[in-house]
Amino acid sequence: MENHNHKVISLKNNEKFVITDSFLTLVKKFKTLKDTKGRIILVIGAPGTGKSSNIYHVIDIVDLNYYEPILLLDNVKMSSKEVYRKIYDVLGEDLHVETEEEAFRELSKYDAVLIADKFLDSEFLDENKVGLAEWTNSKNILTIPFFLLWIVEFFRHRMALKEMNLVFQTAWSIQIRGFKYDLITDFGPFSKLLSGILKGLFEVVEIKYTESETIKIVKSHIKNIDEKDIKFYIKKYGNKPRFILNDLESKSLDTKTRKSSFKSTNTLKSK
């Protein structure tokens, strides 16, 4: 199972941050949200690149007035219709409205509506609940009715959507041999084709790093680490700081545990 110790799901988790080219691109894009409406921005990037970290830091920098719903599903067995209804229930409770039309009217008052980890991976907020991503991964093909319902909603409310800005943290994740990959960014020509289609339909910003940027990010968390060690993990994971940091942290904990165990054994022997 993936370690999520360095996963950022709010501004308060984002104290250590390194400015990168991707971040500056996102800043330029988000700054314009205050003066325009009817836009859909997809923030893409491979797992472990810190999409949420970049999003929350930009929001803080540009002082964006945004709404971010939290979707806590009871379990992965919920039907498409139940999940669809749950989303509107969340909007109703948060915005104090009773109808879909009222909900869209209230959402239009924000600079942007953000669909990110608190909606997709909310199990990190409450281990007894699941987010939309885990639900879709579990239901697989049975999620088709859910997405069809939202396609219908898109056309029903397309005029209202022109008065809103939507920002989606976007990934199409799959697991291969225990490693997490993203179909939109990790698979060469196929990913370029897929991301090209998305760029033709929406505004897209990809979070990605150079090797030097990855080294800076890792060093911001672990001060005395040797660059050669970081480069070793870059070869293993690519420029994905969260995966590198999680691996380094787990190895550090293993080392401390072994030392503690060794000291305990020697103390017992001496007695």
pLDDT of 102 higher than 80: yes
Q: What is the mean pLDDT of the chain?
A: 89
Alpha-helix runs per DSSP H in the chain: 21-31, 51-62, 80-95, 100-107, 117-120, 132-139, 144-156, 158-161, 188-201, 211-221, 227-237, 241-270
Q: Which residues of 43-62 are buried (b: 16+ CB within 10 A; e: fewer)?
A: bbbbbbbbbbbbbbbbbeeb
Same domain membership, residue 103 and residue 224: no
What pLDDT is recorded for position 172?
A: 85
78: tokens are 């919920």
91 to 11, 41, 42, 204: CA distances (angstroms): 22, 20, 21, 26
The closest alpha carbon to 146, from 165, 167, 132, belongs to 132
When mean pLDDT is compared across 3-7, 43-47, 198-202, 241-245, the lowest value belongs to 3-7
What pLDDT is recorded for position 269?
A: 52
Query: Which pLDDT band holds residue 1 (cuts at 50, 70, 90)?
Result: very low
What pLDDT is recorded for position 2?
A: 46
pLDDT of 225 higher than 90: yes
Same domain membership, residue 248 and residue 194: no
Three state DSSP letters for 174-233: EEECCEEEECCCCCHHHHHHHHHHHHHHCEEEECCCCHHHHHHHHHHHCCCCCHHHHHHH
Query: Which pLDDT band holds residue 251 (cuts at 50, 70, 90)?
Result: confident
Residue 3 lies in a domain: no
170 to 13, 35, 93, 159, 195: CA distances (angstroms): 20, 24, 25, 24, 11
- pLDDT digit string (tens) for 199-224? 999 999 999 999 999 999 999 999 89
Query: Which pLDDT band holds residue 171 (cuts at 50, 70, 90)?
Result: confident
Residue 225 lies in a domain: yes
What pLDDT is recorded for position 180?
A: 78
Same domain membership, residue 249 and residue 118: no
Same domain membership, residue 56 and residue 130: yes
Residue 5 lies in a domain: no
What pLDDT is recorded for position 209?
A: 97
**% residues pLDDT > 90 (the chain):** 77
Residue 215: domain span: 211-271
What pLDDT is recorded for position 177?
A: 81
Task: For residue 44, give the amino acid letter.
Answer: I
Residue 2 lies in a domain: no
Domains: count for the chain: 2
CA distance 142 to 147: 10
Same domain membership, residue 224 and residue 188: no
